């Protein structure tokens, strides 16, 4: 959790220009684990936080911060028309089983003027750092994203990149995004089904 607190403090600095003085009130942390990141962000920016994660034991820990918690996957989350001002998916996208359906679901959950933050482990940078593909592979990463593939995903599912942030380790790349129109023509082989 100490690492998560440090990570969260760094995200505060990245998100501050996009969240301060914006009259935002809500935050959804997808894959929010024990709620450490959501707790830091909600306290700093004065938001009401919700953590969505498929691990019930981690969700139980998140409740200690006074956060609303939902156990499950974002694709299955029934928000009942509810939308959030800020949606974050920190150190999670590489673990998803279906990036396309997750981003589609996120796009439906964010307010039109809202902010979406997501970060990836850049697979090309991981290969360079480890000097081999085998050493760059992680068993819990079904997908391996690069800057170009993440940008394409964001564009296809209706997010414009407002800022790109490279972590000190040069492996992690964060994207601060705003909702925009979807671009289903970017990659013709991907069919978007509503």
- 3-state SS string over the chain? CHHHHHHHHHHHHHHHHHHCCCCCCEEEEECCCCCHHHHHHHHHHCCEEEEEECCHHHHHHHHHHCCEEEECCHHHCCCCCCCEEEEEECCCHHHCCCHHHHHHHHHHHEEEEEEEEEEEECHHHHHHHHCCHHHHCCCCCCCCCCHHHHHHHHHHCCEEEEEEEECCCCCEEEEEEEECCCCCCCCCCCCCCC
CA gap 73, 75 in Å, rounded: 5
pLDDT value of residue 186: 56
Segments of the chain scoring below 50 in pLDDT: 188
pLDDT of amino acid 140? 74
Give pLDDT tens digits for 97-115: 899 999 999 999 999 999 9
- Looking at the chain, the whole-number percentage of residues with pLDDT higher than 90 is 71
pTM (predicted TM-score) = 0.89
Q: How far apart are CA 189 and CA 187, in angstroms?
A: 6
Tokens at 35, concatenated: 């709620």
Question: What pLDDT score does 191 carry?
Answer: 53
């Amino acid at each position: 959790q100490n690492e998560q607190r440090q990570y969260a403090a760094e995200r505060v600095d990245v998100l501050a220009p996009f969240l301060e003085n914006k009259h935002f009130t809500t935050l959804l942390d997808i894959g929010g684990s024990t709620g450490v990141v959501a707790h830091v962000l909600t306290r700093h920016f004065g938001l009401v936080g919700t953590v969505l994660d498929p691990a019930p034991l981690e969700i139980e820990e998140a409740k200690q911060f006074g956060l609303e918690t939902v156990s499950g996957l974002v694709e299955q989350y029934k928000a009942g028309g509810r939308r959030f001002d800020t949606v974050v998916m920190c150190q999670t996208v590489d673990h998803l089983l279906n990036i396309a359906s997750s981003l589609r679901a996120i796009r439906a959950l964010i307010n039109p003027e809202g902010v979406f933050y997501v970060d990836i482990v850049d697979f090309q940078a991981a290969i360079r750092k480890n000097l081999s593909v085998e050493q760059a592979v992680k068993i819990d990463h079904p997908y391996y994203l690069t800057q170009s593939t993440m940008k394409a995903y964001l564009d296809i599912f209706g997010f414009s990149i407002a800022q790109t942030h490279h972590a000190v380790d040069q492996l992690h790349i964060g994207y601060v995004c705003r909702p925009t129109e979807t671009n289903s023509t970017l990659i013709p082989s991907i069919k978007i089904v509503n």
